Amino acid sequence: MSDKTKNIDQILSFCKEAAFDLQFTEAAKCKAAEENRVLIGYMPIYFPRELVHAMNGLAVGIMGSGDRKQIVKGDAYYQSYICHMPRGLIEMALDGHFDEMDGFLFPSICDVIRNLSGMFQILGKGKFAKYLDYPQDFNRETGGVFYRNELKIIIDHITKINGVKLDKDRLNESIKLQNLNRRMLNEIYDIRQQFPWRLSAVELYHLQRAGIVIPVEQHNNMLHDVLDYIREDVGTPMDKIKVVVSGSFCEQPPIGLIRSIEQAGCYIVDDDFLIGSRWIEGQIDDQSDDPLTALANAYVDMSTFSSSVYDVNNHKGIRLAALAKKRKADGIIFAAPSFCDPALLDRPILQKDCEERDIRYISIKFSENTGQFKVIKEQVGAFSDSIKLWDEPVTV
């Protein structure tokens, strides 16, 4: 095994650990390393981590407990017809997994997360628990101003905890680091689009998810190495179709599901699993005199599409179709968590857009702790069969 391969293996196994570490050991280490450092937990999907970075803190992405935690108390808070993720979050909160966190952010995405912010307030978790109301008005002067003020409230919360004041240069520096992070992630996606076997979807998932719980500098180093590795011709291609997976932006699919999709004959060439880390499509101005406004404007001007964002002037179905085309995908797999209103309400709209453009798709539902993939495998298998067995064989 070459040194390079060894290094990549190490990185990936570190990421696998870190990504699902429900104790957030890496974050705790980071906090302990410096006095005044704060940990701010944020729920899916997107949050500008650079802001917390500039305030001497680490924004820690909290994506649910997956299949790693047995839910007992969490069920006391949620009926059976509500998605699985928030009950995992509550269970973790009650079991002390978040004790190191100084504050919590609940980016607006749906009613469940919104109400969860109130539950954290009642439970008295953290020094603050803020629902971050993203504007649905995409004008800089209206929505942008409102959003900038929301960010300002977060800054004030953090200042109150660690005394750090927002510094223009520091924020610009943080923006630069996060820009680099996004750029490298996107490049990995670009390479995988052509050579999906060079890094499996599961590996990429681990790599990406680790990135939201560790400092950006550390993650940038890893991305750098991984990129270096997959720019070269590694791995062996297989006879599989290429798909884009859409709808799993909040509650995360179990690893077994991602694996089953690839095993049943598909390469995942794009997805919205951890869309937050690629939310801003482009580079945020990192030279600005008012970087807070730059952050706000980036949200208003450069956000990707998602079910949690109002889209009347910019239909997401068309954007999804464009993505599938750009990635040269053979089809789309709509994979949404059960009971997820935003994702499921969008399905008919998105599917219609696909049909109009002759894009083939299938839809499945999961929950983060699903353990049985038989039915899903059969459906995905039939999907890939139906493309493979009839269409011209995929030339590799």
Interacting residues with another protein between 61 and 80 (CB under 8 A): 70-80
**Of residues 273 and 366, the one with the C-beta less far from another protein:** 366
Q: Give the nearer residue to another protein in terms of CB position, either 1 or 122.
A: 122
Q: What is the 3-state secondary structure (H, E, C) of the chain?
A: CCHHHHHHHHHHHHHHHHHCCCCCHHHHHHHHHCCCCEEEEECCCCCCHHHHHHCCEEEEECCCCCCCCCCCHHHHCCCCCCCCHHHHHHHHHHCCCCCCCCEEEEECCCHHHHHHHHHHHHHCCCCEEEEECCCCCCCHHHHHHHHHHHHHHHHHHHHHHHCCCCCHHHHHHHHHHHHHHHHHHHHHHHHHHHCHHHCCHHHHHHHHHHCCCCCHHHHHHHHHHHHHHHCCCCCCCCCCEEEEEECCCCCCCCHHHHHHHHHCCEEEEEECCCHHHHCECCCCCCCCCCHHHHHHHHHHHHECCCCCCCCCCCCHHHHHHHHHHHCCCCEEEEEEECCCHHHHHHHHHHHHHHHHCCCEEEEEEECCCCCCCHHHHHHHHHHHHHHHCCCCCCCC
Under rule CB under 6 A, which residues in 117-176 are in contact with ligand SF4? Answer: none
Minimum separation from the CB atom of position 117 to ligand SF4 (A): 11
Which positions from 204 to 243 touch another protein by CB under 8 A, shown as an x/- string? ----------------------------------------
* Of 358, 277, 220, 323, residue with least CA distance to 60: 277
Per the structure block, which two tokens stand in for 327? 């990635």
Binding residue (CB under 8 A) for another protein from 312, 358, 392, 395: 312
The correct pick among 102, 203, 251, 262 for binding ligand SF4 (CB under 6 A) is: 251
- Report, in angstroms and rounded to the nearest whole number, the Rg of the chain calculated over CA atoms: 20
Contact call for residue 104 and another protein (CB under 8 A): no
CA torsion through residues 296, 249, 175, 196, sign: negative
Shortest separation between residue 270's beta carbon and another protein, angstroms: 22
Residue type, 378: E
Residues 79 to 98 in contact with ligand SF4, rule: CB under 6 A = 83, 85-86
Selection from another protein, ligand SF4, none that 251 binds (CB < 5 to 8 A by kind) is ligand SF4
Nearer to ligand SF4, 183 or 347 (CB): 347
String of contacts with another protein for each residue 157-176, x by CB under 8 A: --------------------
User: According to CB under 6 A, which one of 184, 340, 350, 359 is a site residue for ligand SF4?
Assistant: 340
Residue 84 Cβ vs ligand SF4, minimum distance, rounded to whole Å = 8
Q: Which does 133 bind (CB under 5 to 8 A by kind): another protein, ligand SF4, none?
A: another protein
Q: Please identify, using beta-carbon distances, which residue of 61 and 196 lies nearer to ligand SF4.
A: 61
112 sits near ligand SF4 (criterion: CB under 6 A): yes
Q: Which stretch binds ligand SF4 (CB under 6 A): 186-194, 206-214, 231-239, 340-348?
A: 340-348
Comparison of 83 and 266: residue with beta carbon closer to ligand SF4: 83
Count of residues touching ligand SF4 (by CB under 6 A): 14
> Is 280 near another protein (CB under 8 A)?
no
Interface positions, 253-272, toward another protein (CB under 8 A):
264
From CA 322, how far away is CA 189, in angstroms rounded? 15
From candidates 56, 68, 143, 191, binder to another protein by CB under 8 A: 143
Asked if 257 touches ligand SF4 (CB under 6 A), the answer is no
Asked if 341 touches ligand SF4 (CB under 6 A), the answer is yes
Residue closer to ligand SF4 by CB (options 100, 346) is: 346
Place of tokens 């802001």: 51
Q: Which does 3 bind (CB under 5 to 8 A by kind): another protein, ligand SF4, none?
A: none
- Whole-angstrom CA distances from 282 to 222, 245, 273, 359 are 21, 22, 19, 26
Exposed, middle or buried, 140 (CB in 10 Å: 0-12/13-18/19+)? middle
The site partner of 279 among ligand SF4, another protein, none (C-beta below 5 to 8 Å per kind) is none
Q: Which does 297 bind (CB under 5 to 8 A by kind): ligand SF4, another protein, none?
A: none
Interface residue list for ligand SF4 (CB under 6 A): 83, 85-86, 109-110, 112-113, 250-251, 337, 340-343
